[in-house]
Amino acid sequence: MTTMRITAPVDDFTGEGPGGVPFVDGSATTSDPAVIGYCQGAGYDVQPLDHDPPDDEQPTGPDGPPNDKSAGRSAARAKRG
C-alpha cells in the first residue's frame, strides 16, 4: 500500500491523531488503510507521499517486463538439438 501524507484540519496540530498516528505541525504519514479511510471521511487532506506501483504490478522498462523470455529458443526446444 502507498504511504499517504495526511494534513489535519488544524494547521499546527501536534500530537496523537486518529489510530495513534503522530502529527507534527498538522502533518503525518501512514500506510494504514483504516486510518486513511477515516481521515478521508473526516475532513483531513490525504495525498500520496510516494508513487510506488501496487504490489501486483511489475514496472516495465524499454525492453518489456522483467523476465521477458520472448527472444531465443525455449529450454525444452534447445535440449532437442
Q: Is the pTM of this model over 0.85?
A: no
pLDDT tens readout for residues 56-69: 544 555 555 555 55
- Distance separating alpha carbons of residues 32 and 59, to the nearest angstrom: 24
Residue 4 in contact with residue 40, Cβ under 8 Å? no
Write the CB contacts of 38 (distance below 8 Å, at least 6 apart in sequence): 18, 19
pLDDT of residue 49: 83
What sign has the CA pseudo-torsion 57, 41, 21, 10? Answer: positive
Q: What percentage of the chain has pLDDT greater than the value 70?
A: 59
